[in-house]
A and B are shown apart, each in its own frame.
Chain A
């Protein structure tokens, strides 16, 4: 909201207060000031000129040659095209070198052969209004050469206040409200304002019927003998300063009262309301053409002002086009009303029309302000058009009550919360300055809250503590050490787990942590073949097709591969995040939250690479390393198996290359991790073909499952006392024997001697029978009680050979 200091000065004496100080004190004590600017600063450069003579231009009918005294020895010769320029006038002159708004620099010129040294300005050229029919004629009695701003006393500063910081203060949506704050802050008096209606005639007033309680008070007042004309200069300048375009006196004065007292109001041509006023809800399908000439479709939640049954205004939001005051209007109906804040807010939001009026009504205005605003409007109008009269008493109807209330406050409560040593007298004086009336009752104070502070804002003692505190100055409250029990704060197991995962993946594994949106675009989900999964959806997404709330972080990461592969041969990304499963919603309506780490690894495709150089294999290594570091292997037996139908393989995964790491047995078996190659059919939709062709693997790890594992026991084993024997073993085995199956046989053949086992080669081809593959391990055999010799090794190999043969394969001896 924009506040003019000139306007403020109508309500409170600002003598001796600089605009900067005013802005800073308002920020510290009332509401955030976002900007401070001089209004029409260019008028400092424009001077008063006295037109000494005017003669016609010899070569142009519409031009005149003027001699203008600008307070210098030599008057200026200026060629002017305005029809209204004449000798004897005071005018605004932009001299050569002056820069007008729009970076328009005045230069010496020759116009149709006649020299011109400056410009006589119109109101529009000075950005003071729309008028461009002629030059701006200044009042008489000004001295030539003085700047226009100082001659007219036009030194106005515009303070911009953050609307958000006024959300709870309906009383601050006009200059008088701000002036009251300024008066309290600087210890000055608020100038009195006449708030009673002038005498009225005894005619019949307008008939008003309220059919819906959303209108709490409606005052209708007939006003006669008005004339539609331009507003006086002072009014136009005030409106211009706060960014309002002056139109005509009636529109301007309606705006003026709203911006002065914060009470919106409306002026109808009385002739258009001959059928009486009815306030009702719209019916389905009804329409109204608003002042801005838009046809608005209405719903039964929108409140209407009607003449008879014909809508003439969208209540509290905007007037209708048909009943607006126009040239020739002589009688008005002045409407000042109170409406339900929520109704107005909803209508304004629904029709997309947030006006100055609706912005105020939705803050819950004080119904007691209604007659005051009506009186202020009529009296201001009469000060300009004294013949204006009121033929009949105001019609004032509605089911409203005075919101004023009394709140009990103890000085101790103030001192306790603010931590400031204020005595009761200080507290009372601060509250009085803000317009509260205090009656003391022992140690308690009974604080009467005036109606304009009572609609939303002040209802309890703490609200008054705020009033005292801000006027005292929050910045004056000293910091105070917080004394508390010294104890280590409780740590959350999940947070510790997240931290370990992040550190391990970002550190040793060299993955980059990404944070992706919680919303996943439908088109990405479709490309990944997971669009059918149930998802929480927002009903008002930021863009069409971005309503899905993720249930897993993996699709988001997969969606980032193409972008990154364009710049990188290898993409390693992870995110630890939350997913939401609407199919598991609790009785309060909250979907189950799951916590997972998602990983993707994408590399250039390389068919010649070693058996374990592929992305999935590398990712598996990263995951196993991570889980080992987390102690998961010590907590429970974890085994990889081929993912099957029960594992709900996501659409992005190659079903033939999907694996699950499970913990627990039978019914209790749970998937701790899912790992798969990207389905080859997804590469093209993801843009990962041709030069971006990628070997992609992705995985998720469930933090919830890890946290549910039993606490790991220590995995320490004493170091062996006797040296072990290193043996390499290569087995040729049928393809359907899994690596884990083979390793199980090796363990069994070792009879407890196999201390470690590391697969180092996988081979199919020459020297291996078809339908078989060769697997080779480095083994270390150890015994607790003796040093193993060659005999032990040979016995072990013998058992391995027999085991391999049982599996349909063979031990491969070195040839």
Chain B
């Protein structure tokens, strides 16, 4: 019996050693340790043995069983390890080949910069307003101190929507100044982003449709210095560094006094293409709100004494900021709807 157990052991361990897969090990386990396997067969023989041999055969069979189980477990672990190792180094690896290209989408660059502008002003407590693009002449002109015969209403600048000129494509975001005054209670601070229209020939720097950001602050005791301080803080934030600003005379019928605000060129120290060598870049038109505009906006309000109020207003073009930020050389790309352009600004 001892010899038989020993030959079984040698036979089984050989087969474990020869196994090349988990299935082989399972077969070994079945053949030797299964219900009808060799060990079971021996155990079945035990009652027929002499009492002295019974004990020896029992112990031997159990020992064989333990030995085999351990050997199979070890072999199985080794096989699994080898399989994992084989998976790790599959060969033929080319990282440049993984071309399951991610789809692209994105916000329009105007939207991106507009959001930057909005968040700066929002952080300074400004409310963001919106207004109609097809606007009444009253809001776009008359209430803004631009009476019917004012030269800045030339036909060639304004798109009129009817023959008697009561409806226009707004030429500026300023009409929302009046709309704000009609419903908001001073003091207030607002900005108005939006598209505006001028009947101009299109070229690389001119568009008939473009985007403006209007600002309006109304309260008591608003002064010129508040305007420069505000725009300086805004520009510093937008360009990420301290930039000087300066005011000079500018004419807009809805402000008095009216200014142009220049900012030190953010792109150079001594003059460049952007600032035409002057180191100053024209940034926006602005001024103190004209008393006629305050009267037009608040005139019907019984709860507001517009005579006590002052305010400042400003308006700047968003398109130019976008073009400066991204280095865009042709304004017509902005409204062109061409994916080859739009996909250059993922965000």
Which positions in A face B, CB cutoff 8 Å?
Answer: 27-32, 164-169, 341-342, 345, 349, 362-363, 416-420, 460, 462-463, 465-466, 469-470, 474-475, 477-482, 484-492, 494-495, 499, 502-503, 505-507, 509-519, 536-542, 549, 556-557, 559-560, 563-564, 567-568, 571-573, 578, 580, 588-591, 593
Contact = CB atoms under 8 A, between A and B. Distances in A.
17 contacts: A417-B288, A418-B224, A419-B224, A460-B291, A466-B257, A479-B225, A479-B228, A479-B232, A480-B225, A495-B128, A499-B115, A506-B347, A540-B155, A564-B337, A564-B339, A580-B134, A591-B167
B160 A540 contact: yes
B interface, over-half SS: mixed
Contacts of B128: 489, 491-492, 495
Interface of B: 103-108, 110-111, 115, 122, 125-130, 132-136, 149, 151-152, 154-156, 159-163, 166-167, 169, 187, 189, 195, 197, 199-200, 202, 208-209, 217, 219, 221-226, 228-230, 232, 246-251, 253, 256-260, 288, 290-291, 310, 334-335, 337-340, 342-343, 347
A135 B222 CA distance: 65
A419 B251 contact: no
Q: Which 8 pairs of residues, A with B, have the shortest CB-CB distance?
A: A480-B225, A466-B257, A510-B105, A419-B223, A479-B229, A474-B247, A510-B103, A560-B337
Given A480-B229, A590-B132, A590-B134, A487 B335 contact: no
Contact of A515 (B110, B226, B288): B110
Contacts, number: 234
A341 B149 contact: yes
B257 A465 contact: yes
A470 B167 contact: no
B191 to A, nearest CB: 10
A165 B249 contact: yes
Contacts of A349: 154-156
Contacts of B110: 515
A679 to B, nearest CB: 21
Given A466-B257, A484-B189, A515 B335 contact: yes
A537 B162 CA distance: 7
A549 B132 CA distance: 13
A31 B162 CA distance: 35
B155 A417 contact: no
Contacts of A542: 159, 199-200, 202, 208
A593 B136 contact: no
A466 B252 CA distance: 12
A482 B230 contact: yes
B224 A477 contact: yes
Contact of A418 (B132, B161, B223, B251): B223
A474 B107 contact: no
A479 B223 CA distance: 9
A454 to B, nearest CB: 15
Given A363-B151, A494-B130, A588-B136, 7 more contacts: A167-B151, A417-B224, A460-B256, A474-B247, A484-B189, A489-B189, A510-B105
Contacts of A505: 105
A364 B228 CA distance: 32
A807 B57 CA distance: 72
Between B223, B250, B337, the greatest number of chain A beta carbons within 10 A of the residue's beta carbon is seen for B337
A70 to B, nearest CB: 36
Contacts of B342: 512-514
A30 to B, nearest CB: 6
B256 A466 contact: yes
A465 B111 CA distance: 39
Contacts of A29: 248-249
A512 B339 CA distance: 7
B134 A591 contact: yes
Contacts of A568: 339
A595 to B, nearest CB: 9
Contacts of B259: 474
Nearest to B126: A489
A480 B135 CA distance: 35
Contact of B167 (A166, A491, A578, A589): A589
Contacts of A420: 224
A568 B248 CA distance: 49
Given A477-B225, A517-B209, A567 B256 contact: no
A517 B162 CA distance: 19
Contact of A475 (B169, B246, B290): B246
Given A517-B209, A540-B155, A342 B149 contact: yes
Contacts of B258: 466
A549 B161 contact: yes
Given A462-B288, A571-B339, A540 B132 contact: no
Contacts of B106: 506, 512-513
Contacts of B343: 512
A36 to B, nearest CB: 11
A564 B166 CA distance: 39
A86 B197 CA distance: 64
Nearest to B208: A542
A486 B125 contact: yes
A32 B251 CA distance: 10
B257 A469 contact: yes
A34 to B, nearest CB: 10
Nearest to B343: A512
